[in-house]
Amino acid sequence: MAFWTYMLHCRGGYLYIGHTDDLERRIAEHQTGHYPGFTADHQPVELVWSDQFQHREDAKAAEKKLKGWSRAKKLALIRGDWARISALAKKKSSPSTGSGRTDLGQ
């Protein structure tokens, strides 16, 4: 069985990220507003990116990771602009949690 992480472009320029085990069915549900919620309130929606995984845990992990990305990085992913994604990944304004300790020597 395949699992998918996907991204929708919604009315108002919003991006929605989710995961599913049936991409066609889930996109149709979003497009018809089948379930109340964000995408039902921001119709119309359009699938702009998806990726397939072998395990649900991997699709869920990808969803969580993408939700943490900046809008610029998500848009670069939609375009398939790997150079921009890489550049944005290196542009951190604050140190990572592993290297951000400031209490050393205090």
What CATH number did the domain enclosing 23 receive? Answer: 3.40.1440.10
pLDDT, residue 15, reads 98
| Largest Cα–Cα separation, the chain | 58
In a domain, 88, yes or no: no
Q: Has residue 106 got a pLDDT over 60?
A: no
Q: Smallest Cα–Cα separation from 15: which of 4, 6, 3?
A: 6
71's tokens: 């809008």
Q: Smallest Cα–Cα separation from 18: which of 56, 75, 44, 54?
A: 56
Domain of residue 51 covers: 3-82
In a domain, 51, yes or no: yes
Question: Which percentage of the chain shows pLDDT scores above 70?
Answer: 85
Residues in CB range of 72: below 8 A, 6 or more apart = 84, 88
Local structure of 88: helix, strand or coil: helix
Q: What is the pLDDT of residues 15-56, one digit of tens each?
A: 999 999 999 999 999 999 999 999 999 999 999 999 999 999
Which of the two residues, 96 and 52, has the higher pLDDT score?
52
pLDDT, residue 90, reads 84
Give the pLDDT mean for 9-19.
97
Which of the two residues, 89 and 53, has the higher pLDDT score?
53
